[in-house]
Structure 1
Amino acid sequence: MSEEITNLVGKFLSNTLSEEEIGKLLRAYQQKQISEKQFGDYYASKWEDAGQHPSRLAAENREKAWEQFKMYMRRNIQTLPKHKSRWIAMASIAAVAILFFILGLSLQRIRNHSQQELVVMVENGQKASVQLPDGSRVRLNSASELRYSPDFGEKNRMVKLEGEAYFEVQSNPNNPFIVLTRDHLQVKAVGTKFNIKAYSNDDQITGTLIEGRIEVSNSLISEVLAPNERISFNTKDGMFSKSRIDNVNEAIFWMTDQFVFDKETLGDIAKILERMYNVTISFTSPEITEIQYSGKIKNNSMENVLNLITVVSPLQYTMSGSHITFSKKQN
């Protein structure tokens, strides 16, 4: 694939093609300058950029993406002379859809009268990188979901998050970047780097500021964070707490597959393990869930994490398929 065609495909997937470039891309496809192998090679590099290792699922998704790409090309080669504006609208949706299929994600269009939302869903055991139309980058952790409107960046820069994500926001003082989470919590930024953790089955929502400034608020309070500060919101009692942390990078160790625990209960650790390794965890007695752990694990294969947990506590585990059971060690 020539550099020009590669750039056209990249622009197609980031929804930045001009009408002239759309015509060039269609002609390139007609002239068989874009093949399935070239398409796959191009997206293998995208997996590397996203920090992912291509898998059987990735290969299947590349095949789906190629079929979708061909379908849109064939359809719009026929309609381009009479319906250029219609092609542009369809290409905007197709571009995002193909990119997310390649990254092994799910994209859904939710129709609500005239309003549509683009939904990025990351399954258990997966992570993904997303670049938004304004140039802001989002790194999504396992079992996370990001929603935003197709006109993101035009009137506002609002996204909805369930799960965990690291944001690198492009600065635009006239159009703040807003993250909405569960319990009506809002994080507002102009240009900054921060991490938000807001899983639906966690009792805490936390925001950690790495660089810049963010404002965290709901209907009752508003707090401004400086770098190396963290804010926590307890969803049960509605209380906020703000603290300063020594190593702000601990908040994003999950991006490099590291664990940092600070008096975390095994019950909470189990939720993390379930998301990261796509397993289910149970306990033979409820008091096991209250055992606390502190420390950092670098070599965090699942077996390594499980073995370390049982080494430092009077526990053992058994595994059956993807189900793990913790129990007390037998004397």
Structure 2
Amino acid sequence: MNKKSLIEKWLSDDLTEEERIAFEALEDTPFHKDIVANASKFKASGFSEMPNFESFKKRIKAPEVPVKKLQWLNPMLKIASVLMLGLGVYYFLFMNVMTEVHTMVAEKTTIELPDSSRVVLNALSEVSYNEKNWEDKREIKLQGEAFFDVAKGAKFDVVTSKGTVTVMGTEFNVKQRGDFFEVACFEGTVRVVTDNKTEILKVGDNLKWYKGVLVTGQHTQKEPQWTKNSSAFQRIPVSEVLAELERQYDIKITLESVDVNQLFTGAFVHDNLENALMAISEPLSLEYEVIKPNTVRLSTSE
């Protein structure tokens, strides 16, 4: 029964026991009882008559007492929302900030990660990692080429567009340039995952992935030669060799009748363009000509 009906029946003394309990539970019941009690102290006028409920309600104009609802949940939800928003903003601004390191043409740089792991970045390469979250997730993204000397600890992931290299603590080199992907292990053991294939490399092992073809092999080096200012290649397509030459010397190479798919084994230095051009052109029976300070033409020998 609604509040209005309860009061009407109370005024007419017609409440059942169940309705009386409901009436007593109303918040403004004491107010109505006080009104009736005070009214009984006055003698009614001979012209007065018992008002009906509507007249009584208009005369006393009882203040409307709002029904108290369980509103405690709303403030708690608001507080929780503010806290969640604050945590989200904090994570985005402070915990999810990526540290990025880039190298320019003919530039190399060495960086130290939060766990003292060392990364040597080759020319025109880029790495990014979350320094704030490093203890929980040792992961670094790579575009280009880098040599890693990883401190022992939790697993360490190098993520590229062609595959992921996972280690615990070791030395290895990763190169990812376009369709070319290469990993060489110099210390410890590394796991390389490309598409649905997984390879385990030990000291002296290397892996090449080029245009969908995966080849594993061996090397005898103790560290990548490019860290000593010399790029070395073992049965690598000429296109990749010349691209590396352009990166190391900031030059543009034009070709005339050169088969860029033939394989090259050899090396070139990073501090003398003439010597580097000779080291590449002679084994391939090519001729070179420096036509501008930053442009070189390579052509097949007649």
Which stretch of structure 1 is more off in the superposition, 187-196 or 264-273?
264-273
1:54-203 superposed matches below 5 A:
115-172=96-153, 175-183=154-162, 185-200=163-178, 203=179
Q: Which of the two has higher C-alpha Rg?
A: 2
- Equivalent residue of 2:224, what SS? helix
1:233 Cα deviation from its structure 2 partner: 2.1
Work out the number of aligned pairs and report it. 210
Is 1:316 equivalent to 2:295 in the alignment? Answer: no
1:289-325 deviations in Å (ceiling 9; x for gaps): 3455433445851111113434441423233131212
Does the 8 A contact of 2:129 with 2:139 survive in 1? yes
Counterpart Cα distance in 1 of 2:197 and 2:279:
40
Whether the 8 Å CA contact 1:198–1:205 is kept in 2: the answer is yes
SS of 1:178's partner is strand
Which of 266, 278, 282 lines up with 2:238 in the alignment?
Answer: 266
Question: Does structure 2 retain, via aligned residues, the 8 Å contact 1:310–1:317?
Answer: no
Q: CA deviation at 1:199?
A: 1.6
SS of 2:140's partner is strand
> In 2, are the aligned partners of 1:122 and 1:145 still within 8 Å (CA)?
yes
Classify 1:322/1:215 alpha carbon distance in 2 versus 1 (closer, same or farther; 3 Å): same
CA shift for structure 1 position 259: 2.9
- Alignment correspondent of 1:243: 217
How does the TM-score come out when normalised to structure 1?
0.58
CA distance in 2, matches of 1:130, 1:295: 28
Note the residue ranges of structure 2 that are not aligned, 5 or more in a row: 1-91
> Could you list the per-position Cα deviations for residues 207-264 of structure 1 after superposition, in whole angstroms to 9, with x for gaps in the alignment?
1110011111145122211111112223x32x4332233x133x60001112323344
In 1: Cα distance, 2:281 partner to 2:274 partner:
11
Give distance in 2, aligned partners of 1:279 and 1:138. Answer: 26
Worse-superposed segment, 116-125 or 216-225? 216-225
Instruction: Specify which of 256, 271, 284 is matched with residue 284 of structure 1.
Output: 256
8 Å Cα contact 1:127-1:141 kept in structure 2: yes
The change in CA–CA distance for 1:132 and 1:267 in structure 2 (over 3 A counts) is: same
Match of 1:21 in 2: none
Whether 1:229 aligns to 2:208 is: no
* Mapped partners of 1:191, 1:150: distance in 2: 18
Does the alignment pair 1:305 with 2:270? no
* Partner-residue secondary structure (3-state), 1:270: helix
CA shift at 1:288, angstroms? 4.1
Paired residue type of 2:221 = V
How many angstroms apart in 1 are the aligned matches of 2:259 and 2:289? 12
CA RMSD of aligned residues (A): 2.4
Whole-angstrom CA distance in 1 between matches of 2:205 and 2:168: 17
SS in 2 for 1:304: helix
User: d(CA) in 2 for partners of 1:206 and 1:263?
Assistant: 12
State the AA in 1 paired with 2:200. Answer: V
- Tell me, in whole angstroms, the C-alpha distance in 1 between the residues paired with 2:144 and 2:235: 21
What's the CA shift for 1:170?
Answer: 0.6
- 2:95/2:130 contact within 8 Å kept: no
Is the contact between residue 123 and residue 144 of structure 1 (CA under 8 Å) also seen in structure 2? yes
SS in 2 for 1:295: strand
